[in-house]
Amino acid sequence: MFDFKVKNTSQNSSARAGVLTLPHGKVLTPVFMPCGTKASVKGLNSHELETLGCQILLGNTYHLHLRPSSELIAEHQGLHNFMQWNKPILTDSGGYQAFSLKNMSFGNNKSNTLKIKDNGIEFRSYLDGSRHFFSPAEVVRIQKNLGSDIMMAIDVCAPSDSDVFAATKAMNLTHNWAYECMREHQKQCNANLQTLFPIIQGVTFPKLRKQSAAFINSLGSFGVAIGGLSVGEAKPVMYEMVDHIMPEIDKNKPRYLMGVGTPEDFIENVYRGVDMFDCVLPTRLARHGCFYDETGRKNILNKKYERDMSPISECPHFGLNTYSKAYVRHLLKEKEVLGMRILSMHNLWFLFDFMKQIRESILENKFVEFRKEFYNRWADFKPDNL
């Protein structure tokens, strides 16, 4: 049920186009996965997602464990049936949320509620303050209940400003937990229905990144993930870390860069050989009035759009190309849900279509030219190596 075939590798770069076969369908790579954090990509239903071009989406172990619980979802025969999504799903381990939400208060408790132990992470729920523990065995059990095609190993995402001692400690724990997760996956799961990706760490230390990539690759997993990037470091630093990692990973494995979701980051990391991405950004930006066009990221709340009658989108679905920028601006100013939905659908369609263009350029051996053309119009970022 699991297969990955590279159909073509770009000339003069490491960009590659492939086909990822999973129990719930085939995924054309490179691919962007939107985040259905709580069993929903905010404001959109499954039909809308599929029509816009979504091939695979991500669910969040932390949030679904806390509410409604993985046991309840298992009673619905898994997350696919629970949310009526028939295409592939990847679930993260929940470890990142345990770290990132550690200081969210419940009631009057505003203290750090996270404890990292050798055998897992102890944390308090941001919903009700209840105690929980994520061990390798537990996160595998939860994700088995969720029934995702791809589950993730639990890891330690050290802050981007960590010193080498803290980064090494986090990496070693990540390696231990990855090994345990692989073992638990073999014990608990049907290998024909679910696979598990371990995660590379190492903060921004090249030696650690190479060491971690080599270890994670040696575990023999179907695919590998790269964690701990796009968490505050400068973009060139992220790209440098990916450069160090890629030579250590077998070419037949799909490579997933976690938490990355801007067009320039897609271009630069595909250029380096990444196949899969996820991020909450397109819908989160939409809720704040931001949208993409061919030249960069814009904000519809800007006064220059007040009387702009041009379409907000070129997307041919759901009438998105019939709404004017002035109308969508009005909706956002009035906090109308329709405005947020229009921008969410547009942003997702834009990124799905952009990834489709990247894939086609790789298959046609025109990716390097596509990259140059992209930066001729894109205002948000310009790399040094064009």
Catalytic site positions = 92, 278
Q: Which amino acid is at 166?
A: A
Q: From CA 367, how far away is CA 212, in angstroms rounded?
A: 29
CA distances from 377 to 268, 272, 366 (A): 15, 21, 17
CA nearest to 359, candidates 25, 56, 7, 12: 7
Question: Which residues, at least 6 apart from 108, have a Cβ–Cβ distance to it below 8 Å?
Answer: none
Query: What are 101's strand-pairing partners?
Result: none
Task: Report the chain's C-alpha Rg in angstroms.
Answer: 21
CA nearest to 221, candidates 286, 150, 156: 150
Q: From CA 274, how far away is CA 270, in angstroms rounded?
A: 5
CA nearest to 358, candidates 349, 350, 367: 367
Do you find a cis peptide bond into 30, omega within 30 degrees of 0?
yes
CA nearest to 297, candidates 314, 285, 310, 284: 285
- Beta-strand ranges (E) seen in the chain are 3-9, 16-22, 25-29, 31-36, 57-60, 89-92, 115-117, 120-124, 131-134, 150-152, 195-197, 199-200, 224-226, 255-257, 276-279, 290-293, 296-299
CA distances from 149 to 1, 39, 191, 220, 324 (A): 10, 15, 10, 17, 39
Q: From CA 166, how far away is CA 161, in angstroms rounded?
A: 10
| Cα dihedral 136→142→145→150 (10° resolution) | -60
**Token output for 371:** 């990259």
Residue 242: how many other CB atoms lie within 10 Å: 24
**Token output for 121:** 């992470």
Query: What are 257's strand-pairing partners?
Result: 226, 277
Q: From CA 380, how far away is CA 146, in angstroms rounded?
A: 37
